[in-house]
Amino acid sequence: MPPSSGELWGHHLMPSQVLVDCLLPTGIIVPIQCNRDVTLERIKGELWSEAKKYPLYSKLLDPDSYIFVAITQDAEREEFYDETRRLCDLRLFQPILKVMEPIGNREEKMLNYEIGMLIGIPVNEFNETKDLEVMTFRRNVLNVCKEAISVREQDGAFSQALYAYPPDIESSQSLPPHLQQKVKKFGDDSVIICVWVVSEDNNRSKYSVKLSHLKTPTDVIAETIRRRSRLMSMTKEHTQMCIEEYSQAYVLKVCGCDQFLLQDCPISQYRVIRDCLADEKIPQLMLLTKDSVFNSLSASQFTVPSYVQRGIQALAEINNQQIVYTSDIKTHLRIKISCASYVNVKEFGKIYVKAGIYHGTEPLCAAKNTHQEDSTNPRWDQWLEFLLIPDIPRSARLCLSICSVSLAKRRNKKVHYALAWGNLQMFDFNSRLSSEKVSLHLWPMPQGMDDLLNPIGLPGSNPDKDCPCLEIEFDRFAHPVAYPPDSLLQQIGHIALSKENQHYHDQLSLTESKEKEERELNLLDEIISRDPLSDILEQDKDILWKRRENCLTRPNSLPKLLLSVKWQERKDVAQLYLLIDRWPVVEPEVGLELLDCSFSDLKVREFAVSCLDKGMTDYKLSQYLLQLVQALKYEPYLENPLTSFLLKRALLNQRIGNFFFWHLKSEMHQTSIRLRFGLILEAYSRGCGSHLKVLIKQVESLDKLTKLTDMLKSEVKDDDQMKRLHEQLQQPDYQEALHRVNSPLCCGHILGDIKKDFCKVMPSKKRPLWLVWNNPDPMADIADPDFQIIFKNGDDLRQDMLTLQVIKLMDSIWKGEGLDLRMIPYGCMSTGKDVGLIEVVRNAKTITSIQSRGGARAAIQMDSSQLHRWIKEKNADRYDQAIDTFTRSCAGYCVATFVLGIGDRHPENIMVTESGQVFHIDFGHFLDHKKKKFGINRERVPFVLTEDFIRVISKGVDQPAKQKEYVKFQELCVSAYIILRKHSHLIITLFTLMLSCGIPELQSLDDIGYVRKTLAVEKDEEAAIKYFITQFRNAYGVSWTTKFDWMCHNLKQWL
């Protein structure tokens, strides 16, 4: 355990009694004996009572005039303004508190304190920086916050409610085909909805209303009032009066959670209604007055921080300087490599510096090397020359690495490998070309990277000053050199375009023909249709650039066209910008592709974000939020359209904001993006209003659980762990921290009181916690009476989170095509380094636990009928439906696990619900990184399809593979596979955007190549079907190997 990870330096948990030394303003130290969970308010009260016994008491002011100050485990001086905080939650270095009068604006300091506690960085750390880009970003980003708050307040309480309880609706009003079939069962496109009315004395009334699925929530309310009026024997006139008077005074709430139907769209557009239709359940809603809902909301208060004036004068002085543009400079870019320090080489040898100028992932010119020097005290003092300065694009970056040369022992051959890397933007955030001496602290090479340069790595210096440092120098000019403004680029573009058009018309009569044009357009369409990772040859690039005007009528061709641009040719770049100004809006999925590491140009990324803003609904945004947060790492500067877009949407939708916060917060331990993500989190915290308190509560509860699991790991015996768990959950500080928390997995779920007797330490290696809370919702008994969540400390859940996100997307794609495969993409969220939460799927068991009911014969895989018997037993009245559910979900997971290359499949990470839904858990290996034993792949099948599953699909008959159900199952799998192939571009893009995440099994484009292979992107549909059927037959044909592996796994668990 790191000594600073607990409640007190060197301790997971504080002792139950702590002696706290309190230093008064008079210089007197007063020791106070305290309980570990005592509040600061209580300590202050006891301190003032005790201080009466000490000298100089009369010099003290009223206790409310003072605050406590202490040194935390991060070696930071922290002021504590919230006196409801407990001693054990302060993370003190030592139990010493200083009493002092607060200095400055107390309200602002209190807010800064809360923000610092929330994001894990003291706001003072930002305040003390002298970096002009940081100061400018912090000031300008407040405008995004103000605009979002203005929108939230424009319609008063209603718009505030839309922010706090955003409608969870699908993008399209049209029902997908599989739900249309469900609705048609009623014969008239109607749905039945159960509406509950709860009186002030808690008496319940239930009203079942039947109406068209195209009716709105207001229509449901009106129909409920009509039903209630009939029961009260009102006249038609009186009933109509009640409807007109009260239908606008009420809102509908989903029973069991804080989700409201506030938007007057068709009720079938709400996801909760669609989920009920899919499960053939009646939606359960509750009627509440608008006043009771709106009065619980608080208006957003925005405090303008004092730092807004910092940096304005310095930036104005820079902008007032006389400048020259790069287009006026006629020399080559030169960079001087001076020397290096802190270079750690395993053995004495030669080292050199490699340098290249890149645009995205594309080199703009040949990389250059310095001469080799001894590693003991390397000094080069060597100038390297690159491309012409006028041809440097706006987003170009300098990529550097210190490389070592060693002699391979076996081949007697020199081997070059990089020791450390670093990147610098050629232009700063203010468009000025680098022209100073720079001390660049480098980063260690990513695991598994063989390349000598890392162009997709984040720009900037490593804050760790003990890492290798490279001293470099740029050419200096008489005046600052700036990138040309848009007006000048337009002139360059028009001149180049005019010359090119003239040349084209001169050659047209000689070489062009209608047949040639048709061939080129056909080739253009073929190039555009290729997946994002397909190779684009030079002749392909020539066609794309030549036919760029034709690309305008094919808007989604933009990613391919951009790959054909010669970014080191300013005339080509200028012409591209003219084209982008005319480019139609592209689909959101294409906009996503334009945000990956290959496309670093600022204008391109701005265009991509504008398309997302116009075409991406909140539901779509929530689907792709994980990738969009990762795309922030590819932004060259702190201030950019993507940050503004995500921040704005997060501040207008509390559900998106909650996930946005945790996606950023979970990576704050990574030094490379700590500053960027910390600044975005600070801005979000300043603009999110009352949700700030909700997030603080979530952070505090997870911090408590982290310390608890750290402590439990020190206990050896299972019984001792359970005992300590229940003891700690009874402590007042844990009861308080875990009470009424909005679940990070779904902020509409309010976790009530922790049910300690149902909580347990799970038996797996990292000892996760199975936690149960009661549901405080008044209608919880007809929805979910409790919430069950697994808390993990010690496992990286980012891979699980990505896998489940893609499976959820696959489920959405299939449903959109009318294919409901009954998938269960349960909730999973990484909340920090190797810490996270997993949703518990109710009424589900592992294959192992089901088979164990059949005795040793079933458990060692000799009896394949036990699973079928269990499903039949659990579904005596719904047997056929349960078999259909199993068949569909089995098909979905067979295809999904095959496409994603999910490995380590054993009977403890495949589960089945009592209703027959099969689903997979624990995605520790994917993209064909399968588990090995003695260097040999333990899994020999493309996906899991055992006799147990086929027996269920064929309703328990012998020789199930010869039954018609087996054939239909294969056809279902083929249909699911073909549908996914149509969306292969999107699936590949999602993985490409995650390359910056640092997931061990997703490090390079080669890893994503496995998805290209399984989706057969280079085959036509007929060949792809043959390929999949071959894989399907292999999966079942050698499923005996899977059964053997399962038997070994079960035996290992028993032994």
Q: Beta partners for 198?
A: 204
What amino acid is encoded at 29 in this protein?
I
**What does pLDDT average to over the chain?**
91
pLDDT of residue 4: 45
What amino acid is encoded at 918 in this protein?
V
| Mean pLDDT value across residues 258-283 | 94
Cα–Cα distance, 752 to 772 (Å, whole number):
9
Q: What percentage of the chain exceeds 70 in pLDDT?
A: 94
Q: What percentage of the chain exceeds 90 in pLDDT?
A: 75
Q: State the residue for tokens 């590949």.
A: 988
Contact (Cβ atoms closer than 8 angstroms) between residue 357 and residue 396: yes
Q: State the residue for tokens 């022992």.
A: 409
pLDDT of residue 516: 87
Closest to 1018 in 3D by CA, of 688, 625, 533, 636? 533
CB atoms within 10 A of CB 944: 27
pLDDT of residue 839: 98
What's the pLDDT tens digit per position in 651-678? 999 999 999 999 999 999 999 999 999 9
Residue 502: pLDDT over 90: no
Contact (Cβ atoms closer than 8 angstroms) between residue 120 and residue 668: yes
Coil, strand or helix at 413: coil
Cα–Cα distance, 583 to 562 (Å, whole number):
13
What amino acid is encoded at 622 in this protein?
S
| Mean pLDDT value across residues 177-196 | 86
Which residues, other chains included, contact 914 with Cβ-Cβ below 8 Å and sequence gap of 6+? 843, 844, 874, 875
Residue 542, CA distances (Å) to 563, 565, 651 in order: 10, 9, 44
What do you get for the CA distance between the two ends of the chain, in Å? 30
DSSP string, 491-554: HHHHHHHHHHHHHHHHHHHHH--HHHHHHHHHHHHHHHTS-TTS---HHHHHHHHHTHHHHTTS
The 10 Å CB-count burial string (b at 16+, else e) for 666-701 is bbbeeebbbbbbbbbbbbbbbbbbbbbebbbbbbbb
Which residues, other chains included, contact 76 with Cβ-Cβ below 8 Å and sequence gap of 6+? 122
pLDDT of residue 936: 47
Indicate the burial class of 68 (C-beta count within 10 angstroms; 0-12, 13-18, 19 or more).
buried
Coil, strand or helix at 406: strand
Cα–Cα distance, 981 to 1021 (Å, whole number):
9
Indicate the burial class of 86 (C-beta count within 10 angstroms; 0-12, 13-18, 19 or more).
buried
CB atoms within 10 A of CB 1032: 21
Of the candidate ranges 16-25, 568-577, 617-626, 951-960, the one whose mean pLDDT is the lowest: 951-960
What's the pLDDT tens digit per position in 362-414? 999 999 999 999 888 899 999 999 999 999 999 999 999 999 988 766 666 78
| Mean pLDDT value across residues 431-451 | 91
Contact (Cβ atoms closer than 8 angstroms) between residue 97 and residue 25: no
Which residues, other chains included, contact 417 with Cβ-Cβ below 8 Å and sequence gap of 6+? 403, 404, 406, 450, 452
What's the pLDDT tens digit per position in 940-960? 678 888 888 999 999 988 888
Of the candidate ranges 429-433, 582-586, 856-860, the one whose mean pLDDT is the lowest: 856-860
Contact (Cβ atoms closer than 8 angstroms) between residue 213 and residue 190: yes
Show the tokens assigned to 493: 């573009």
Cα–Cα distance, 258 to 742 (Å, whole number):
10
pLDDT of residue 76: 86
Q: Which domains are present in the chain?
A: 17-103 (3.10.20.90), 173-294 (3.10.20.90), 329-477 (2.60.40.150), 485-584 (1.25.40.70), 690-794 (3.30.1010.10), 800-825+838-1054 (1.10.1070.11)
Residue 933: pLDDT over 80: no
pLDDT of residue 409: 63
Which residues, other chains included, contact 343 with Cβ-Cβ below 8 Å and sequence gap of 6+? 351, 375, 378, 402, 419, 420, 468
Contact (Cβ atoms closer than 8 angstroms) between residue 96 and residue 71: yes
Cα-to-chain-centroid distance, residue 173: 27
What's the pLDDT tens digit per position in 215-255? 999 999 999 988 888 777 777 778 788 888 888 899 999 99
pLDDT of residue 1040: 46
pLDDT of residue 860: 55
| Mean pLDDT value across residues 856-883 | 82
Q: Find the angle CA(460)-CA(463)-CA(464) to the nearest 5 degrees.
A: 130
Contact (Cβ atoms closer than 8 angstroms) between residue 138 and residue 315: no
H or E segment and range at residue 405:
strand 397-407
Cα–Cα distance, 522 to 525 (Å, whole number):
5
Cα–Cα distance, 916 to 883 (Å, whole number):
7
Considering only CA atoms, give the Rg of the chain: 32
Residue 858: pLDDT over 70: no
CB atoms within 10 A of CB 450: 8
pLDDT category, 143, cuts 50, 70, 90? very high
Determine the length of the chain: 1055
Contact (Cβ atoms closer than 8 angstroms) between residue 671 and residue 464: yes
What's the pLDDT tens digit per position in 548-603? 999 999 999 999 999 999 999 999 999 999 999 999 999 999 999 999 999 999 99
What amino acid is encoded at 475 in this protein?
D
pLDDT category, 67, cuts 50, 70, 90? very high
pLDDT of residue 411: 62
Contact (Cβ atoms closer than 8 angstroms) between residue 684 and residue 660: yes
Q: State the residue for tokens 């792709």.
A: 624
Cα–Cα distance, 103 to 67 (Å, whole number):
10
Contact (Cβ atoms closer than 8 angstroms) between residue 435 and residue 308: no
Coil, strand or helix at 430: coil
Show the tokens assigned to 215: 């009716």
DSSP string, 975-987: HHHHHHHHTHHHH
H or E segment and range at residue 352:
strand 350-359
Closest to 18 in 3D by CA, of 44, 40, 38? 38
| Mean pLDDT value across residues 833-849 | 95
Which residues, other chains included, contact 232 with Cβ-Cβ below 8 Å and sequence gap of 6+? none
Residue 627, CA distances (Å) to 84, 595, 662 in order: 38, 10, 13
Cα–Cα distance, 947 to 957 (Å, whole number):
11
pLDDT of residue 182: 85
Contact (Cβ atoms closer than 8 angstroms) between residue 6 and residue 12: yes
What's the pLDDT tens digit per position in 897-932? 999 999 888 889 999 999 999 999 999 899 988 765
Q: Beta partners for 402?
A: 353, 420
What amino acid is encoded at 506 in this protein?
D
H or E segment and range at residue 1029:
helix 1021-1037
Contact (Cβ atoms closer than 8 angstroms) between residue 902 and residue 910: no
Cα–Cα distance, 171 to 238 (Å, whole number):
38
The 10 Å CB-count burial string (b at 16+, else e) for 241-259 is ebbeebbeebbbbbbbbbb
pLDDT of residue 503: 59
What's the pLDDT tens digit per position in 308-360? 888 888 888 888 999 999 999 999 999 999 999 999 887 667 899 999 999 99
What's the pLDDT tens digit per position in 86-113? 999 999 999 999 999 988 888 899 999 9
Q: What are phi and psi of 369, to 5 degrees?
A: -120, 145
pLDDT of residue 101: 92
pLDDT of residue 309: 83
Cα–Cα distance, 834 to 828 (Å, whole number):
13
Cα–Cα distance, 285 to 270 (Å, whole number):
12
Q: What are phi and psi of 459, to 5 degrees?
A: -75, 155
Positive or negative torsion for Cα 505, 511, 514, 516: negative
Cα–Cα distance, 358 to 364 (Å, whole number):
5
Show the tokens assigned to 995: 């390359």
Q: State the residue for tokens 């559900």.
A: 655
Show the tokens assigned to 946: 């055992």
